[in-house]
Structure 1
Amino acid sequence: MLQTVIEYKDVFSCSKQRDKVYNSLPTDGEWAEARLICEKLQLFHEITELFSGSCYPTANLLFLKIYDIKVDLIAWVSSPDEVVSTVTSRMIDKFDKYWKIFNHVMAIAAVLYPRFKMKLVSFYFKEIYRELVAFEIQKIHNMCYDILHEHQARALEGKEDDGSIITRVLIFSCSSDRLSKFDFFVNEESDSMDVKSELDICLGESVLPRCENFDILTL
């Protein structure tokens, strides 16, 4: 609505000239204030359209837009415009209550997205955390591996539940060959190392290109 009003600024001026009773014509300063506020609200308008136009907005999209809001709020709170800085300060107080809860989850989702990985996290974290950027990036890195180890432990529990322990005991009791035990040792070690190395490789690889005609089947 505010954007529409700005587009008809000249109409308001004409109304003032034709109607002597009309005394609500905004000043040039108020028009400038309105344009500035519209510029700030444009981001929220785009996010609303994105989420309302998608039945299932993915976590990587959430990361981009929510982190855009965070970065812009940090910049706006230092705005020379008193209205913008005051309103932004109030917005940050409310925004940070939710930010503390979900920002790490979205960052992890971005890390697992092949076009973003840790590169995008590092890019945004430099804007947000500044002198604490290294600590916060390491926190996300550790969380990724915590999740990996948790799933790895569950996978091992599943193997034990399906009778693998009994199988090992039977084989060990039937054979005194130390190489048989060595084979099991190697298998167990490689199981854990393979999963970890896949994550290392994933994080170490370059991000996939961000282009509309990208074909993942050509990789």
Structure 2
Amino acid sequence: MCSLYYKDVLDYWGQWDKDYQIFALSNEEWRNVAIICKFLKVLYDVTCVFSSSNYPMANLYFRGVWKVHKVSLDTVKGPHSFLTLMVKKMQTKFNKYWAEYSLILSCAAILDPRYKLNYVQYYFTTIYGIHASNFVETILSNLRHLLDEYAKKSKSTSSSLAENSNVSDKDPFDSSLYQHNVNSADFGGDFDESDDYKRYLNESSTKSEKSQLDIYLEEPELELNSQIDVLDY
């Protein structure tokens, strides 16, 4: 980058200093230097964003990692053949990372109310084209599975807490007082209202065909914070 800034000075120096002339770059070499710097600047900027954040977030990582992925793909497919070999070697390592972490990074981006599904769909389309929908569907499937697992675990925890609460509540009761309360109240037989109420809550929760994830995804995205958009270069 510094050499590009002083390009005119270095060219002028090469015309007058014979010792420097052997190091002077041709116009084509200067063009290649500019192309390399443009490519490496993307990696530099993304690295600065990640390293400068005191509290790095997964949704921020998704955008930066995508940027590196997209630039590397464009470079390999582009007209600058002198970069192809170097970038392909970089892609070998990057693709291994992308295969392991693209799913979790995508889920984190979708759960960011500023981005949601449209955000991830757009970026995957720029990488995979018409095949992007397959990757997005895999992400949604995993998100729904994660939500179901959370719901089951949450329900199990609630049931366990309720059982412990019932046990602790019964211990200090005076049996004679409990029998008096039951006899003095006419509930119309052996009807257990607590069980019926739980059944009502379970039925009510299953009436809605849309999951909380679907409802969340249908809500409009929040307005992007300009201070977060540091990767727009």
Same fold (TM over 0.5): yes
Partner of 2:12: 14
Contact 1:12 1:25 in 2 (8 A): yes
| TM-score computed with the length of structure 2 as normaliser | 0.79
The aligned counterpart of 1:184 is 198
Answer whether contact 1:111 1:117 (CA < 8 A) is retained: yes
Q: What do the CA deviations read for 1:9-49 (whole angstroms, capped 9, x no partner)?
A: 12222222222222110111100000011111111111122
Q: What residue ranges of structure 2 are gaps of 5+ in the alignment?
A: 171-187, 228-233
* TM-fit CA distance, 1:211: 4.2
Report the more deviating stretch, 116-125 or 198-207.
198-207
**1:40 lines up with 2:39 in the alignment:** yes
Q: Note the residue ranges of structure 1 that are not aligned, 5 or more in a row.
A: 214-219
Q: Which amino acid aligns with 1:209?
A: E
Distance in 2 separating the partners of 1:186 and 1:74: 54
What is the CA–CA distance in structure 2 between the aligned matches of 1:121 and 1:175, rounded to whole Å? Answer: 57
Written as runs of structure 1 = structure 2, the 5 A alignment for 1:173-212 is 176-177=190-191, 181-191=195-205, 197-212=211-226
Q: Secondary structure at the match of 1:208?
A: coil
* Cα offset, 1:117, TM superposition: 0.3
Partner of 1:118 in structure 2?
117
In the alignment of these two chains, the number of paired residues is 206
Q: Secondary structure at the match of 2:220?
A: coil
Kindly provide the CA deviation profile for residues 131-164 of structure 1, in whole angstroms up to 9, marking residues without a partner as x: 3212111111111111111111111121222243
Q: Work out whether residues 126 and 133 of structure 1, in 8 Å CA contact, stay in contact via their aligned partners in 2.
A: yes
Amino acid of the residue matched to residue 48 of structure 1? T
What RMSD over aligned residues (CA atoms) do the two structures have, in Å?
Answer: 2.6
Q: Summarize the Cα distance change of 1:10–1:180 in structure 2 as closer, same or farther, 3 Å threshold.
A: closer
Q: Percent identity?
A: 27
* C-alpha displacement of 1:125: 1.1
Inter-CA distance 193–64: structure 2 relative to 1 (3 Å threshold) = farther
If you compute each CA radius of gyration, which structure gives the higher value, 1 or 2? Answer: 2
Aligned to 1:82: 81
Q: Distance in 2 between matches of 1:210 and 1:79?
A: 32
Letter in 2 for 1:184: K
Deviation at 1:81, TM superposition (A): 1.1
Q: Which residue of 1 aligns with 2:175?
A: none
Q: How does 1:26-105 map to 2 (within 5 A)?
A: 26-105=25-104
13-22 or 199-208, which deviates more: 13-22
| Separation in structure 1 between the aligned mates of residue 207 and residue 40 of structure 2, nearest angstrom | 48
CA deviation after TM superposition for structure 1 residue 166, in Å? 9.1
Higher relative contact order structure (alpha carbons within 8 Å, sequence separation ≥ 6): 2
Q: Displacement, 1:96?
A: 0.5
Query: Which amino acid counterpart does residue 62 of structure 1 have in structure 2?
Result: Y
Question: Residues of 1 paired with 2:13 and 2:226: CA distance?
Answer: 47
Letter of the aligned partner of 1:101 in structure 2? E
Q: Do 1:152 and 1:192's aligned partners in 2 also have CA atoms closer than 8 Å?
A: no
For 1:78 and 1:154, the matched residues in 2 are separated by 47
CA distance in 2, matches of 1:176, 1:118: 51
Per mean C-alpha deviation after superposition, the further-off stretch among 28-37 and 175-184 is 175-184
Shift of 1:97: 0.8
Cα distance change, pair 130–175 in 1 and its aligned pair in 2 (3 A)? farther
